[in-house]
A and B are shown apart, each in its own frame.
Chain A
Amino acid sequence: MGEKTIQDINARIADGSVHVVTAEEMPHIVAELGPEGAAREVDIVTTGTFGAMCSSGAWLNFGHSDPPIKMQKVWLNDVEAYSGLAAVDAYIGATQMSETRGMEYGGAHVIEDLVCGKSVDIHATAHGTDCYPRKVLDTTVTIDDINQAVMMNPRNAYQKYNVATNCSDRTLYTYMGTLLPNNGNATYSAAGVLSPIFNDPTYQTIGVGTRIFLCGAQGYITGEGTQHDPSNNFGTLMVQGDLKKMNKKYVRGATFHKYGVSLYVGIGIPIPILNADIAKATAVTDANITTNVLDYGVARRSRPVLRQVTYEELKSGMIDINGNEVTTSPMSSFHEARGIALELKESIRKGLFYPTLPVERLPNEGVSKPMKQIKEQPTVADVMASRVTTIKQGLTVEDAAKVIMEGNFNHLPVVSDEDKLVGIITAWDVAKAVAQNKRDKLDDIMTRTVITADITEPIETTARKLEQHNISALPVINNKNIVVGIITSDDISKLMTRR
């Protein structure tokens, strides 16, 4: 069939005959009419997503004060913004935290307050120059008082995201929300069928210059997002739009408990259906989109993949992980994503929004590299004491007391006949037992659930365990649960001061 042009489509918007559907409606149409028929029938498919997009922020220009200042540092409601550029420009990043209120309020909340028309306190400092003599400035502004307020987000609209669950035995607080111990729940990012990039995975219409719905305003894609990873279906977009025209409904500051601040951003992208290929891509459903379930209990870059799931399974509310039924919940809002796709559809039908084609294509191949680290992180193996005294299970408290006294240390791991770790005794446990006249079996007084360090884990992880459990030493084990060393908070602080 002949291809449609963007001009044909825009002419239909102008004369009111355009046929727009959402990405949720399109699969049925393609199933019924086939890609060719659907491409003839439908002009535009609208997508939408509404969720936490940490890589967000806004450029603000405050105008010049009198006497003028070249802001070196600037705070908005006690949240620091970046001002290492010309005099009165600043970039407020969404995840920056308030210096007085911590993670309860951050850059995202400042941006939300600006969009809501609330006044924001500005505090700036400078060194003072002949042309910019002023050293301190304090004022209060609303979004109407400042020149430009431009949302500019380096990485938004992730094509999809991993599912988070937690195989460890303690509760984790992450950017994927609270993850309950022992796979108590699983969280995911919800757009799925409405995900903009999944509806145009070869980037035929999504590219530099594509006009988009950005938080209620008309914005633009300015490039590939940072960490754009199209070959792994983890594409991202860099976007920009006028904060002054945004709807507060779609710009929402958020706090992830014990993790930090983020901004919920609403993005909708129209896909002009120029040909059957594009129509076919927009027929994607939740059942066709798969993602990985990762164990966030492992705090490393490569987290173990527990299984693959489809969005259809995730949205059913329950998935199977290692034979257990685990309740899922989204972190982003499918309800609002659908609302955005519908709102965009309406604006196009009313002739208020005209889609564009990209002026430059985005890469549809390539991967995001991990960080190059030249000073490698030391691991437990580098720091631990490998000469560790242990005691065999089945011996007595008296025996333990002797060993501790001779060795002059505080922690004594208890091992089985095969040298596997079964418990731990501290000098304090022994003293207490002796005082209570419990001198016989070690088994009665040892701690059985031992917090351990794995010999391969980075020292940062171990330091965090010591801090969290408020203890001063951990036995180090290998993958066979055999005690191979001991690491103390002293060892770690010595290392930190050396660096």
Chain B
Amino acid sequence: MKITLYATPEITAKPLIAEVILETKALLNIDRADVKPKGGEVVIDVPQDRYDEVTKAFEKRGARIIRLELPVIKDDDECVNCGACISVCPTGVISFKDDWSIEMDVSKCVQCGTCVTMCPHGALTLSE
């Protein structure tokens, strides 16, 4: 499952993620990191069974954690099932079902946003 870690400038200076990995020994995978002067935003893939422990470890260090339920949302009224979004997704989230309609395995989404601009019908949005 995926979480977004929000960190203030003071704590982005510390090796936060390394500390948490060492402490929990959980295999964390960084999907996307965006560190700006006003703070950092990192999307992290966390093994399902370690979620509570990892969240606590981050929170203890002053970071805010939000669980990404649906990283990318499709508006079914706008989607025409063209499939244009399929080939630009770096992680293979989107695919055709047997009937040529679209299905999404959002657990693989890294919120890069490429599919959002590719979609000619404005059917896709990233969640906050």
Contacts and interface: CB of A to CB of B under 8 A. Distances in A.
Nearest to A175: B120
With most chain A CB atoms within 10 A of its CB, the pick from B84, B96, B117, B122 is: B84
Contact of B87 (A255, A329, A334, A335): A329
Given A335-B99, A335-B101, A330 B118 contact: no
Nearest to B86: A329
B80 A333 contact: yes
A177 B118 contact: yes
Interface string B84-121: 11111000000110011100000000000010011011
B11 interface: no
B66 interface: no
A179 to B, nearest CB: 9
Interface string B49-83: 00000000000000000000000000000001111
B81 A264 contact: no
B87 A336 contact: no
B76 to A, nearest CB: 12
B100 A338 contact: yes
A336 B81 contact: yes
Nearest to A257: B117
With most chain B CB atoms within 10 A of its CB, the pick from A52, A257, A335 is: A335
A249 to B, nearest CB: 9
Contacts of B100: 333-335, 338
A52 B120 contact: yes
A254 B86 contact: no
B83 A333 contact: yes
Interface string A386-404: 0000000000000000000
Interface residues of A, number: 31
B81 A335 contact: yes
A207 interface: no
Contacts of B96: 317
A333 B81 contact: yes
B117 A327 contact: no
Interface string A112-145: 0000000000000000000000000000000000
B88 to A, nearest CB: 5
B88 A180 contact: yes
A334 B121 CA distance: 16
Contact of B82 (A51, A184, A328): A51
B80 A178 contact: no
A185 interface: yes
B71 to A, nearest CB: 19
B105 to A, nearest CB: 15
Interface of A: 50-52, 177-178, 180, 184-187, 190, 252, 254-258, 262, 264, 317, 327-336, 338
Given A180-B88, A187-B84, 12 more contacts: A180-B87, A187-B87, A190-B83, A256-B120, A317-B96, A327-B86, A329-B86, A330-B82, A331-B120, A332-B82, A333-B81, A334-B83
